[in-house]
């Protein structure tokens, strides 16, 4: 399947985008409510394309541009937030080794802690903020 899991708002935004782009039919979407919400559908061709695109992240996200900002805004919307550090929150994402490498290459200071990547650079959140889709991701 192809989908997202997390906050209800994330699932709603994902579903709206998929339906607007006609990537799936409304009667084919599975929506599961619980502690975390899940929304997904089956499309093997689209799934294979997304998997190939994820493999190319190191190549595609070389520059600190709108494309890279959109990618990390999506990661922040789905698996990110703010960790309290003193008086201000530090943005973090839950990502993989490739995300960490890309962030470092883009010039952001990253500290890995308990499966999360805290982005210590002050300009990270401002860089992704225009591309955030969820209200809960905004400070």
Model confidence at 65, pLDDT cuts 50, 70, 90, reads very high
**Is 80 exceeded by the pLDDT of residue 85?**
no
Residue range 106-131, pLDDT digits in tens = 999 999 988 899 999 999 999 999 99
3-13 exposure pattern, b = at least 16 Cβ within 10 A, e = fewer: bbbbbeebbeb
**Cα dist from 65 to 3, 73, 103, 112, 122, whole Å:** 26, 12, 12, 24, 17
Separation of alpha carbons 99 and 109, rounded Å: 12
pLDDT of residue 86: 65
In DSSP terms, 83 is beta-bridged to 90
- Residue pLDDT, tens place only, 1-60: 899 988 899 999 999 999 999 999 999 999 999 888 999 999 999 999 999 999 999 999
pTM: 0.88
pLDDT given for residue 114 in this prediction: 82
Q: What is the pLDDT of residue 7?
A: 87
Work out the widest C-alpha separation in the chain, in whole angstroms. 47
């Amino acid at each position: 399947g192809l989908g997202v899991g997390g906050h209800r708002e994330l699932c709603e935004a994902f579903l709206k985008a998929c339906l607007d782009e006609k990537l799936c039919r409304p009667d084919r979407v599975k929506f599961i409510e619980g502690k975390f919400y899940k929304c997904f559908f089956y499309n093997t061709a689209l799934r294979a394309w997304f998997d190939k695109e994820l493999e190319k992240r190191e190549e595609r996200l070389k520059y600190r541009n709108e494309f890279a900002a959109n990618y990390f805004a999506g990661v922040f919307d789905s698996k990110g937030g703010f960790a309290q550090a003193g008086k201000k929150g530090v943005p973090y994402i839950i990502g993989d080794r490739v995300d960490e490498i890309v962030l470092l290459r883009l010039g952001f200071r990253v500290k890995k802690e308990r499966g999360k990547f805290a982005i210590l650079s002050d300009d990270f959140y401002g860089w992704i903020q225009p591309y955030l889709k969820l209200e809960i991701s905004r400070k």
